Amino acid sequence: MEYRELTIPGAWEITPRQFGDDRGVFLEWFKGSEFEAAVGHRLDLAQANCSVSAAGVLRGIHFTDTPPGQAKYVTCVKGAFLDVIVDVRVGSPTFGQWDSVMIDDVDRRAVYLPAGLGHAILSLEDASTVMYLCSLEYTPELDHDVHPFDPELAIDWPAVGRDGSPLNFQLSGKDSAAPTLTQAAEAGVLPVYASS
Q: What are the residue numbers of the active site?
A: 62, 132
Question: CA–CA separation, 7 vs 2, rounded Å?
Answer: 16
H or E element at residue 104: strand 98-104
The C-alpha angle 141, 36, 17, rounded to 5 degrees, equals 105
Backbone region of residue 108 per phi and psi (left: phi > 0; alpha: psi in -120 to 50; beta: other values): left
Q: For the chain, give the longest Cα–Cα distance.
A: 56
CA 14 to chain centre: 13
